[in-house]
């Protein structure tokens, strides 16, 4: 990895949180959707009773004739919701769930500026007209709320906590509660952006202040978005915990009697200090420092590269075994994920911890629309995760797991980074043509969107790094972070920043990787050398097999050891190179430095005049030997 120019980075990203450093009273965000919530958990019946007051301000140029709310848990009311229909299309089967393992939110009261609006509420399905979907509720208003007008909204509800769907739910006495309250959509100049809950998408909300009081059984540790301001014994066997956080767009919490609570601190000479709190499963107590180390690495490298983390605190949650709650992000809180057997030099729990902590930046601080443009957080963060892990954790070996993933075997001659890059390319190659990235994320075909959202974005960012250089790409991403902190950027906003920060028009590249599902595929079609007296006449034919265009190098290696590199603009379907030399050609290779990581078939990128059969045989022999070792190891344990 190249050197990080820390001084330049901090200057480029200085707009990310200067207000927090100059005056803590100044808001970092618009704070137009503020929530005061009280809720009580009954673990025996797995129900939550809650009430909230929302102070909302219309920051658009249009009046609001209604209010639209997300009721996310209604996606798990039955199998008829859009979420469950898409989940079934993606081959998930929930038919064996018990009746008490489903979830729902029942709104019992809603008032707007004191007026009862419960009789006017109705469910709508703006995305697919599924009349059975109840994840979006519209509440028509007696009087529209004008631009810059405000409303005070009081809502009461009850919710049944499901066996985990989409990282939220309960197992035993472990509760992880997210997307659990009636939540306003985002009003834009075009109208309400309040999508139904889809199986392949996440969330979008305005920034505000959250003041939340949660009553849970006495003695149960609790973690939540924000900072604990009070823990009060309610006198009925419960404790009421009050958490407060400014300038966030969501609120999640967790509680369990089994949690061990650990604390540590992140410190850095040029970045704000951060208090770290870890809620850990008892069987993972020995891994506490590994969770902290991964979180520190994220705060350090993301902070140096993009801009500082502004909140001053972060909560790491180690979810219960088989809870299904691992690997998810919320403002100032995230779930990691590890195993009881976690060998050294294998990035479990480090990999998932870095990734989810990284979402504090690409999702939490820069709040793009995850329903429509999930690649702007998941893809950016996948790229950043790999870079941070490579910086902080070396060696980093592949671990193969057996017996349901319980028993690891560390393969110390295979770096996980190499394996991850291969898996990322394989996933993208499989689904590259399934959707153009510009398709709204909620419309991606179920079970394939991850390849476009995560893998494709990481691959084209890696390609930009190798093509433009890390310094340029870092400057682009830091400028984007600085410009859109606590705001809602769209794709064209990132592209505009990229053009400005790089000093060149990159539109031709984004047209292909974002607006198209065309694939890149360059290869060597043929090489030949014929003797003519004392010299050899050589021809090399390279070809563009895919529809997408990218400039590539072509490397020719001759028998006398000479190497010639040609620069091909990659536009024509084929290109002929001819040479008159004293020796024949040995090989030709397109993109020898692997700049174009989006190439879907790297096996055709090179050709040799005399194939190295012995080397190829050795490669496949070793592959089969590793497979045989795995089988013998498994049989030995069973014996």
268-277, 315-324, 625-634: range with lowest mean pLDDT: 625-634
What angle in degrees, to the nearest 10, is found between the helix axes of 375-392 and 457-468?
60
Strand pairing of 313-317 and 333-335? parallel
| Three-point CA angle 257, 261, 267, nearest 5° | 160
- The confidence band for 451, taking pLDDT boundaries of 50, 70 and 90, is very high
pLDDT for the residue 89: 85
Q: What is the mean pLDDT of residues 505-515?
A: 97
pLDDT for the residue 625: 58
Closest CA to 303 of 270, 329, 265, 351: 270
Dihedral sign for Cα atoms in the order 216, 221, 222, 227: positive
Q: Which two tokens stand for residue 1?
A: 């990895």
Output the average pLDDT for the chain. 90
* Alpha helices (H) along 503-612: 507-513
How remote is the C-alpha of 384 from its chain's centroid? 10
pLDDT for the residue 309: 98
φ, ψ for residue 245, nearest 5 deg? -155, 130
Longest Cα separation, the chain: 102
Q: What is the pLDDT of residues 155-208, one digit of tens each?
A: 999 999 999 999 999 999 999 999 999 999 999 999 999 999 999 899 999 999
pLDDT for the residue 11: 33
- The confidence band for 634, taking pLDDT boundaries of 50, 70 and 90, is very low
Q: How many CB atoms lie within 10 A of CB 471?
A: 15
- The confidence band for 9, taking pLDDT boundaries of 50, 70 and 90, is very low
Task: Compute and round to an integer the Cα radius of gyration of the chain.
Answer: 27
| Residue 241 to residue 534: CA distance in whole angstroms | 88
Closest CA to 259 of 215, 305, 318, 341: 318
Q: What is the DSSP letter of 323?
A: -
- The confidence band for 2, taking pLDDT boundaries of 50, 70 and 90, is very low
Per DSSP, the three-state class of 388 is helix
pLDDT for the residue 610: 78
| Residue 292 to residue 300: CA distance in whole angstroms | 12
pLDDT over 90, % of the chain: 79
Give DSSP secondary structure letters for 587-632.
Answer: EEEESTT---TTBS-GGGSEEESS--HHHHHHHHHHHHHHHHHHHH
The continuous run of DSSP H or E covering 10 comes out as helix 6-12
Residue 283 has pLDDT above 70, yes or no: yes
- The confidence band for 17, taking pLDDT boundaries of 50, 70 and 90, is very low
pLDDT for the residue 14: 36
Strands (E), 281-354: 313-317, 328-330, 333-335
Per DSSP, the three-state class of 418 is helix
- Is the omega angle on the peptide bond into residue 85 within 30 degrees of 0, that is, cis? no
28-32, 68-72, 473-477, 628-632: range with lowest mean pLDDT: 628-632
Q: How many CB atoms lie within 10 A of CB 138?
A: 18
Distances (CA, A) of 14 to 5, 281, 305, 496: 14, 38, 11, 19
pLDDT for the residue 162: 96
Q: What is the distance between the terminal CA atoms of the chain, rounded to a whole angstrom?
A: 46
Judging by beta carbons within 10 Å of its beta carbon (0-12, 13-18, 19+), is residue 486 exposed, middle or buried?
Answer: buried
pLDDT for the residue 20: 39
- Is the omega angle on the peptide bond into residue 573 within 30 degrees of 0, that is, cis? no
- Beta-bridge partner residues of 73: none
Closest CA to 478 of 455, 498, 507: 498
pLDDT for the residue 329: 96
Per DSSP, the three-state class of 503 is coil
- The confidence band for 8, taking pLDDT boundaries of 50, 70 and 90, is very low
- The confidence band for 485, taking pLDDT boundaries of 50, 70 and 90, is very high
Quickly tell me which residue has 């590539």 as its tokens: 552
Contacts (Cβ under 8 Å, ≥6 apart) of 464: 472, 473, 476, 509
CA dihedral angle for residue 288, residue 294, residue 300, residue 302, rounded to 10 degrees? -140
Residue 532 has pLDDT above 60, yes or no: yes
Q: What is the pLDDT of residues 393-416, one digit of tens each?
A: 987 766 666 656 666 656 665 555
pTM for the model = 0.89
Residue 10 has pLDDT above 80, yes or no: no
List domains and CATH numbers for the chain.
1-28+265-517 (1.10.390.10), 31-257 (2.60.40.1730), 522-608 (2.60.40.10)
Strands (E), 286-406: 313-317, 328-330, 333-335, 397-402
Q: What is the pLDDT of residues 345-386, one digit of tens each?
A: 777 899 999 999 999 999 999 999 999 999 999 999 999 999
43-52, 55-64, 73-82, 94-103: range with lowest mean pLDDT: 94-103
Q: What is the mean pLDDT of residues 428-457?
A: 91
pLDDT for the residue 620: 52
pLDDT for the residue 395: 78
Q: What is the pLDDT of residues 288-309, one digit of tens each?
A: 999 999 999 999 999 999 999 9
Q: What is the pLDDT of residues 563-580, one digit of tens each?
A: 999 999 999 999 999 999
């Amino acid at each position: 990895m190249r050197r990080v120019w820390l001084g330049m980075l901090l200057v480029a990203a200085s707009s990310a949180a200067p207000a927090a450093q100059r005056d803590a009273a100044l808001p970092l965000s618009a704070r137009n959707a503020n929530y005061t919530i009280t809720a009580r958990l009954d673990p025996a019946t797995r129900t939550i009773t809650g009430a909230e007051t929302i102070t909302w301000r219309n920051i658009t140029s249009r009046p609001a004739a209604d209010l639209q709310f997300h009721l996310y848990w209604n996606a798990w009311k039955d199998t008829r919701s859009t979420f469950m229909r898409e989940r079934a299309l993606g081959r998930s089967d929930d038919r064996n769930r018990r009746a008490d393992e489903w979830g729902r939110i029942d709104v019992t009261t809603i008032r707007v500026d004191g007026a009862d609006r419960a009789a006017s509420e109705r469910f709508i399905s703006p995305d697919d007209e599924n009349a059975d979907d109840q994840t979006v509720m519209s509440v028509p208003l007696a009087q529209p709320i004008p631009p810059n007008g405000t409303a005070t909204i009081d809502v009461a509800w009850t919710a049944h906590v499901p066996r985990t769907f989409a990282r939220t739910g309960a197992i035993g006495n472990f509760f992880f509660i997210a997307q659990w309250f009636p939540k306003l959509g985002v009003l834009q100049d075009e109208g309400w952006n309040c999508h139904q809950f889809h199986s392949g998408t996440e969330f979008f909300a305005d920034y505000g202040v959250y003041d939340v009081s949660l009553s849970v059984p006495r003695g149960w540790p609790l973690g939540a978005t924000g900072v604990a301001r009070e823990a009060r014994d309610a006198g009925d066997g419960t404790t009421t915990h009050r958490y407060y956080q400014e300038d966030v767009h969501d609120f999640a919490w967790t509680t369990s009697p089994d949690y061990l609570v650990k604390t540590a601190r992140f410190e850095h000479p040029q970045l704000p200090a951060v208090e770290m709190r870890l809620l850990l499963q008892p069987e993972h107590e020995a891994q506490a420092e590994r969770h902290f180390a991964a979180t520190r690495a994220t705060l350090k490298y993301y902070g140096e590269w993009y801009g500082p983390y502004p909140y001053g605190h972060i909560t790491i949650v180690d979810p219960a075994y088989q809870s299904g709650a691992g690997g998810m992000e919320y403002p100032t809180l995230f779930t990691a994920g590890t195993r009881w057997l976690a060998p050294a030099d294998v990035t479990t729990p480090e990999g998932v911890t870095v990734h989810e902590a990284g979402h504090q930046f690409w999702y939490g601080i820069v709040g793009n629309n995850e329903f429509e443009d999930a690649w702007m957080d998941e893809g950016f963060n996948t790229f950043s995760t790999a870079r941070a892990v490579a910086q902080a954790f070396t060696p980093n070996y592949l671990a193969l797991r057996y017996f349901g993933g319980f028993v690891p075997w560390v393969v110390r001659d295979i770096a996980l980074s190499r394996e991850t890059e291969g898996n990322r390319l394989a996933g993208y190659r499989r689904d590259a043509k399934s959707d153009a990235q510009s398709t709204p994320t909620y419309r991606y075909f179920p079970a394939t969107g991850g390849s476009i959202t995560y893998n494709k974005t990481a691959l084209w960012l890696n390609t930009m790094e190798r093509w433009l250089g890390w310094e340029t790409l870092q400057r682009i991403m830091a400028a984007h972070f600085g410009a859109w902190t606590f705001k809602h950027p769209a794709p064209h906003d990132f592209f505009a920043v990229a053009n400005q920060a790089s000093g060149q028009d990159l539109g031709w590249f984004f047209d292909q990787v974002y607006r198209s599902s065309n694939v890149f595929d360059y290869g060597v079609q043929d090489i030949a050398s014929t003797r003519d007296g004392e010299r050899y006449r050589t021809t090399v034919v390279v070809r563009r097999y895919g529809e997408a265009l990218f400039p590539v190098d072509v490397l020719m290696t001759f028998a006398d050891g000479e190497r010639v590199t040609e620069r091909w603009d990659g536009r024509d379907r084929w290109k002929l190179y001819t040479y008159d030399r004293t020796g024949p050609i040995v090989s030709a290779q397109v993109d020898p430095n692997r700049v174009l990581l989006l190439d879907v078939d790297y096996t055709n990128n090179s050709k040799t005049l005399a194939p190295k059969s012995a080397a190829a045989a050795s490669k496949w022999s070793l592959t089969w030997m590793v497979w045989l070792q795995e089988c013998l190891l498994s049989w030995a344990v069973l014996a």
